[in-house]
């Protein structure tokens, strides 16, 4: 274990490293800008004048992404939980019920209603799980671009009288939500399955219900494990929201940049702004999440400092 | 206090419990020994319904509890359990481990639960470790927190599933001392263990289990020194050496 002062020294080194890296990057960017602006005539006045409009477009990207992300998180959690549960074969469930019923009736014939009820509940559970599996397979097995185009086509064909902006927003949010829901369910499933089964057993042993064990024991541990992949998913989704450019009627960042480029012919300026703003959003997001991760880190849980060997 | 009649449990083709009967009086300490795979752990888990028995009856204070109309959670609140691998909640401090049950299951208010939790940690000799996380505690300390966690629910009885077999030798004593103190205070206990010292001093009765059945029952003296059954003699011979 490194000592506290050692840790401090290391973190100072890290800060210096990061600053250095940022300086070098900025230097390169400044050089590129210099080449573009002075030798190719990149218009700084255009950038200064129109960057507020780009920021406005970026807000739309952020709204759509964030709404889809959080609704998708609800879907992902439910699907992930459903897919993480181990189900027994129906034959064994039925055999257990039969033995139980025979024992309860003390030799008398058990009622058929009990068995029908068991089959009913069992089939619902079974098909919920299979449906979840199929959903995830479809979402992960097809391009997001196709999903967006499909939802959008469906919306404009079935609701042609809606405002085009609303049509675009609606199909964008639906497609992105469905997509991220599928991916997040895989993240949650992995997180839930990684929590040791002894934790659930201990939780049930003090009298917590299934949901109580999930809420107070499994989720808090699983969430700590899945924060990094969930962050990746958010950043990925934000970048994926640029695919909404195909819809055309939603003035999100990429769409706006494209139309500006074609209308004003300030192509390099437009895309410098678009790229810069994406970076401006994604970089702090990962930093903020890193901070959250440190803040809620618990000794012995999740990613640990390596003790001896590194891979 | 606890009575088990004709308990049967199968896991697929594996017949783990083949009709087990036992009874424990209030304040009694019952020790169960037997080779691994003999069904001891399954028997304990059937008593607090962590595992649903296939047939047979489990009684708690004279009430049959393995019935459809009785919530298993209600049974588990009253029968504490301590596991071989401790199973402390990894994301909670020692104190939070102890107070979670009272607050979330019994609805005790947080301040009262904390006061009780500190008292229980003091009782197992860990008052100064209240804010430590499980990964920062030794095995023996973790197991003592686990005992405090079970006690926090004010259980009528306690089940111990090989509480010392995952421990380094130097930590076994401290856990057994806590258990012995519990027994002296009149706690009803069913203990699966191979600690002969503990069994001899704390228990009046010992059950020997093998292949899903109770083979022999007797005082520690009888089981360890004058076993009647051949299988008991062979097993005891191996663990006493």
Tell me what pLDDT residue A107 has. 47
DSSP-assigned beta bridge partners for residue A170: none
Cβ–Cβ contact A210 with B under 8 A: no
> Is the ipTM here above 0.85?
yes
Whether the pLDDT of residue A307 is over 70: the answer is no
Cβ–Cβ gap A301/B80 under 8 Å: no
**Confidence class for position A283, pLDDT limits 50, 70, 90:** confident
Please state, as a whole number, how many other Cβ atoms lie within 10 Å of the Cβ of residue A311.
3
- B17: region left, alpha or beta (phi > 0 left; psi from -120 to 50 alpha): beta
pLDDT at A134 over 60: yes
Asked whether residue A305 carries a pLDDT value surpassing 60, the answer given is no
Q: What is the reported pLDDT for A297? A: 85
Which pLDDT value is given to residue B230? 92
Confidence check: pLDDT of A117 > 80: no
For the entire predicted model, the pTM comes to: 0.79
- Kindly compute the dihedral angle of the four CA atoms of residues B77, B79, B85, B88, in this order, to the nearest 10 degrees: 30
Which residue numbers in chain B have pLDDT < 70?
A: 241
- For B119, what's the count of Cα atoms within 13 Å in the CB-facing half-sphere? 9
Going by pLDDT thresholds of 50, 70 and 90, the confidence category of residue A237 is: very high
The pLDDT value recorded for residue A301 is: 77
A206 closest CB neighbour out of B91, B101, B133 = B101
Identify any residues that bridge with B208 across adjacent strands, giving them in sequence order: B33, B216
Distance CA A25, CA B133 (A): 42
Residue A291 pLDDT level (bands cut at 50, 70, 90): confident
Token digits for A232? 């990746």
Share of chain A above pLDDT 70, in %: 84
pLDDT of residue A199: 94
Count CB atoms within 10 A of the CB of residue A271.
15
pLDDT at A311 over 60: no
Identify the contact set of chain B against chain A, taking CB-CB distances under 8 A.
12, 48, 50, 52, 54-56, 67-68, 73-74, 76-77, 80-81, 83, 85, 87-91, 100-101, 104-105, 133-136, 146, 149-150, 153
Min distance A86 CA to chain B CA atoms (Å): 15
Q: State how far the Cα of B148 lies from the Cα of A271, in Å rounded to an integer.
A: 62
Give burial (CB, 10 Å; 0-12/13-18/19+) of B240: exposed
Question: To the nearest whole angstrom, how far is the Cα of B169 from the nearest Cα of chain A?
Answer: 23
Both tokens of residue A46? 């255009």
Residues, chain B, total?
A: 241
More confident residue, A122 or A23: A23
**Residue that wins the pLDDT comparison between B103 and A269:** B103
Are β-strands B205-210 and B14-24 bridged in parallel, bridged antiparallel, or unpaired?
A: unpaired
Mean pLDDT of A211-232: 92
- Segment A32-46, tens digit of pLDDT: 877 766 666 677 788
- Residue B238 has a pLDDT of 86
In this prediction, what percent of chain B has a pLDDT beyond 90? Answer: 87
- CB contact (8 A) between residue B100 and residue A216: yes
Distance CA A13, CA A21 (A): 12
In degrees and rounded to multiples of 5, residue A287 shows phi and psi of: -65, -45
Q: pLDDT-based confidence at A6, cuts 50/70/90?
A: low
Q: Is residue A217 within 8 angstroms of chain B, CB to CB?
A: yes
pLDDT digits (tens, 9 = 90+) for A73-115: 999 999 999 888 876 677 777 776 676 666 555 544 555 666 7
Of A302 and A27, the structure prediction assigns the larger pLDDT to A27
CB A187 within 8 A of CB A233: yes
Per-residue pLDDT tens digits for A146-181: 999 999 999 999 999 999 999 999 999 999 999 999
3-state secondary structure at position B59:
strand
pLDDT at A94: 74
Q: Are B186 and B196 in contact (CB under 8 A)?
A: no
């Amino acid at each position: 274990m490194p000592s506290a002062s050692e840790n401090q020294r290391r973190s100072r080194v890290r800060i210096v490293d990061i600053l250095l890296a940022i300086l070098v990057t900025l230097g390169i960017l400044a050089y590129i800008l210099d080449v573009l602006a002075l030798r190719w005539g990149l218009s700084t006045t255009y950038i200064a004048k129109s960057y507020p409009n780009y920021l406005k477009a970026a807000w739309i990207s952020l709204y759509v992404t964030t709404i889809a992300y959080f609704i998708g998180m609800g879907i992902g959690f439910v699907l992930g939980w459903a897919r993480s549960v181990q189900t027994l074969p129906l034959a064994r469930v039925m055999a257990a019920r039969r033995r139980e019923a025979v024992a309860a009736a003390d030799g008398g014939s058990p009622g058929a209603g009990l068995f029908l009820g068991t089959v009913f509940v069992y089939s619902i559970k079974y098909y919920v799980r299979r449906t979840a599996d199929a959903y995830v397979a479809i979402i992960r097995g097809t391009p997001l671009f196709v999903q967006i185009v499909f939802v959008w086509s469906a919306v404009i064909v079935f609701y042609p009288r809606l405002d085009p902006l609303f049509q675009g927003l609606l199909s964008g949010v639906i497609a992105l939500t469905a997509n991220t829901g599928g991916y997040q369910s895989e993240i949650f499933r992995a997180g839930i399955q990684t929590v040791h089964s002894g934790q659930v057993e201990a939780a049930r042993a003090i009298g917590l219900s299934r949901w109580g064990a999930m809420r107070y024991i499994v989720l808090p541990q699983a969430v700590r494990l899945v924060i990094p992949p969930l962050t990746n998913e958010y950043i990925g989704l934000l970048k994926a929201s640029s695919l909404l450019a195909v819809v055309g009627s939603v003035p999100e960042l990429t769409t706006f940049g494209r139309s500006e480029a074609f209308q004003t012919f300030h192509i390099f300026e437009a895309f410098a702004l678009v790229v810069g703003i994406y970076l401006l959003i994604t970089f702090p997001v990962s930093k903020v999440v890193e901070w959250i991760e440190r803040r809620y880190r618990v000794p012995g849980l999740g990613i640990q400092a390596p003790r001896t060997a590194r891979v | 206090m606890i009575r088990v009649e004709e308990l049967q449990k199968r896991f697929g083709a594996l017949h783990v419990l083949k009709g087990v009967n036992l009874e424990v009086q209030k304040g009694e300490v019952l020790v169960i020994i037997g080779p691994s795979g003999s069904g001891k752990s399954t028997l304990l888990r059937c008593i607090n319904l962590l595992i649903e028995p296939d047939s047979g009856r489990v009684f708690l204070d004279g009430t049959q509890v393995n019935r459809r109309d009785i919530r298993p959670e209600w049974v588990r609140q009253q029968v504490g359990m301590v596991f071989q691998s401790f199973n402390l909640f990894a994301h909670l401090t020692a104190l939070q481990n102890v107070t979670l049950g009272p607050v979330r299951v019994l609805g005790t208010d947080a301040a009262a639960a904390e006061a009780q939790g500190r008292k229980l940690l003091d009782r197992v000799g860990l008052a100064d470790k209240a804010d430590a996380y499980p990964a920062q505690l030794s095995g023996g300390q973790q197991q003592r927190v686990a005992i405090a966690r079970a006690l926090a629910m004010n259980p009528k009885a306690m089940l111990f599933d090989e509480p010392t077999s995952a421990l380094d030798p130097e930590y076994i004593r401290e856990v057994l001392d806590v258990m012995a103190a519990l027994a002296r205070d009149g706690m009803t206990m069913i203990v699966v263990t191979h600690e002969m010292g503990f069994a001899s001093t704390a228990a009046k009765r010992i059950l020997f289990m093998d292949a899903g059945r109770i083979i022999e029952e007797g005082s520690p003296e009888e089981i360890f020194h004058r076993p009647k059954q051949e299988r008991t003699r062979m097993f005891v011979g191996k663990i006493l050496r």
